[in-house]
Amino acid sequence: MADFEMIVIGSGPAGEKAAAQAAYFGHRVAIVERHPAPGGVPVHFGGIPSKTLREAANYLTGFRLRDIYGLGLGLAPDLLLDRLRAREAEVEATMTEAVARNIERHGIELIQGHATLGPGQAVTVAEADDKTRILTTDVILIATGSSPLRPGAIPFDDPDVHDSDSILGIDRIPDSLVVIGGGPVGSEYASIFTALGAQVTLVDAADRLIPFLDPEISGVLHEAFTAMGMDVHLGSAGAAIERRGDAGGGGLHVDLGDGAEATPDMVLFAAGRVGNTRGLGLEEAGVEVSERGLVVVDAHYRTTAPRVYAAGDVIGPPALASVSAEQGRVAACHAFDIPFKEVVDPLPPYGIYSIPEVGMIGMTEPAAAAAGIDYAVGRARFADNPKSRIAGTTVGLVKLVVRRDDHRLLGVHIIGDEAAELIHHAQAVMHAGDPFDRFIDFTYNIPTRTEAYKYAAYDTLQNLAAVAGG
């Protein structure tokens, strides 16, 4: 008999949920985690720490409401940083404990150490005390997540040049910051540090922010960033960083790639991630890995090696914690023929926690056009929404993309306060296969931001009628 029926390598959302799913249905499971505490990137590096930083920055500086009430909180920078770190540490500790409790509650053995795939269905674990354990198992699930991309041309050995992990450990809030990367992570950090009072320059090679968003939403986000005081450079040929003089007396110089130059206190490089597959022995085990260290899987999350599965960020996009958790559950169900979860939701919502927030689900306008669909759109702007007016958060809109012939809802795109929450209302309607007219049928509390759906639907009807009438 094998030591375990499943060994999961990594305790992030994919690993934790896969292990819990298998254990819930009676299988003997172990998780091998190389870090001292479970939870993975979302708990310790990316998701929860950066989102906590965002909320704390908004609260401690009064950033969102300073234009409404004409005042903000002027905490000294060192005190502000202490408060931010204390809050971040508190939330991280709470969520780490929640993950640990879930693992314990399901009877899963948590092993701290570095895992390597061995011959057959074996996993070798190098533990912290220099001891080695060889564990046998029926199924292996790789859920080791991803890390920030660190190109050789970026001088990460400079103490003021950071990636999205190391930026969380800075010892001061910079007066000025260059963020390289206009994707979700770069946009989130750029807006957070703008809220903290830094002069931020955001640079990206793309011609718009977060290119997978609907172009109109990208444009509104760009306008919001500019209105915040951020300097946005798009279409850059590629930024180059150097320190002129020594680290003590010299300064950082960044060629923004479009003829402009910046001299910031710090630089954040946030343009891409790579799979955490180095040192796992995947090649020797017959597991195919891409150039970026991403594990290749099929529709059931099987790798190219027998009885070895993979899920989460380590297999690539969409690299969302929510989707990674579902991938882990589905992989466990396929591994043990559990008739519970067969597929991952084909319509996952996206949430981008910039200031302002962005939420999206389904097709963008260009995607509908590329698919040859005859479509229409409707909008409701938060500037016309009573709740947003009361709260003073009027930037943004709800946008519907619908099929013209049967009114089927194809996609919903939101930018503004609580967009990542509001998008779930659209998810429910789309999963039901209902037409966008359902938003007109619903009765919404007044005042609420959700009411914007009703007026976006009315606007869609008007646009459809205008075209029909010639």
Each residue's pLDDT tens digit, 172-218:
889 999 999 999 999 999 999 998 889 999 999 999 999 999 999 99
H or E element: which one contains 68? helix 66-69
Contact between 122 and 134 under an 8 Å Cβ cutoff? The reply is: yes
Tokens of 86: 């204390």
**3-class state of residue 341 by DSSP:** coil
* Identical fold, 4-148+274-335 and 161-270: yes
**pLDDT on residue 128:** 80
Reply yes or no on whether the pLDDT at 266 is more than 80: yes
Q: Which residues contact 84 (CB under 8 A, 6 or more apart)?
A: 53, 56, 57, 60
**pLDDT on residue 52:** 83
Hunting for tokens 């150039």 — which residue is that? 291
Reply yes or no on whether the pLDDT at 425 is more than 80: yes
Q: Name the band, by pLDDT with cuts 50, 70 and 90, for residue 249.
A: low
| Number of helical (H) and strand (E) elements in the chain, helices listed first | 14, 21
Tell me the percentage of the chain whose pLDDT exceeds 70.
94
Tell me the percentage of the chain whose pLDDT exceeds 90.
77
Predicted confidence (pLDDT) per residue in 304-350, tens digit: 999 999 999 999 999 899 999 999 999 999 999 999 999 999 999 99
Q: Measured between alpha carbons, how far is 9 from 360 in angstroms, rounded to an integer?
A: 31
Q: Name the band, by pLDDT with cuts 50, 70 and 90, for residue 77.
A: low
Q: Which burial class, exposed, middle or buried, applies to 380 when counting CB atoms under 10 A from its CB (0-12, 13-18, 19+)?
A: buried
**3-class state of residue 424 by DSSP:** helix
Strands 251-255 and 240-244: antiparallel
Q: Which CATH code for domain 356-468?
A: 3.30.390.30
Contact between 427 and 413 under an 8 Å Cβ cutoff? The reply is: no
Strands 109-117 and 29-33: parallel
Q: What is the mean pLDDT of residues 146-152?
A: 93
Which superfamily does CATH assign the domain made up of 161-270 to? FAD/NAD(P)-binding domain (3.50.50.60)
Tokens of 402: 């619908």
Helix extents (H) in 297-385: 321-335, 365-370
Predicted confidence (pLDDT) per residue in 85-119, tens digit: 888 888 888 999 999 999 999 999 999 999 999 88
Tokens of 149: 């991309």
Reply yes or no on whether the pLDDT at 65 is more than 70: no
Angle at which helix 13-24 crosses helix 321-335, to 10 degrees, equals 40
Contact between 269 and 163 under an 8 Å Cβ cutoff? The reply is: yes
Q: Measured between alpha carbons, how far is 270 from 324 in angstroms, rounded to an integer?
A: 21
**pLDDT on residue 443:** 97
Predicted confidence (pLDDT) per residue in 383-398, tens digit: 999 999 998 889 999 9
Mean pLDDT over each residue of the chain, to the nearest integer: 91
Q: What is the mean pLDDT of residues 33-49?
A: 82
Q: What is the mean pLDDT of residues 415-429?
A: 96
Tokens of 235: 């279409």
Structural fold of domain 4-148+274-335: FAD/NAD(P)-binding domain (3.50.50)
Tokens of 437: 């007219």
**212 phi and psi, to 5 degrees?**
-75, -10
DSSP 172: S
Tokens of 368: 């509908």
**pLDDT on residue 306:** 94
Hunting for tokens 């509001």 — which residue is that? 422
Reply yes or no on whether the pLDDT at 69 is more than 80: no
In the sheet that holds 266-269, the strands lie side by side as: 161-162, 266-269, 176-180, 199-203, 231-233
Reply yes or no on whether the pLDDT at 72 is more than 70: no
Contact between 5 and 22 under an 8 Å Cβ cutoff? The reply is: yes
**pLDDT on residue 470:** 57
Q: Among residues 166, 209, 210, which one has the least CA distance to residue 50?
A: 166
Tokens of 406: 């049967």
Tokens of 312: 């989460």
Hunting for tokens 């938003």 — which residue is that? 439
Contact between 329 and 29 under an 8 Å Cβ cutoff? The reply is: no
| b (16+ CB within 10 A) / e for 269-289 | bbbebbbbbeebebeebebeb
Bond into 49 cis (ω within 30): no
Where do the domains of the chain lie? 4-148+274-335, 161-270, 356-468
Q: Measured between alpha carbons, how far is 103 from 312 in angstroms, rounded to an integer?
A: 18
**pLDDT on residue 247:** 52
**pLDDT on residue 281:** 95
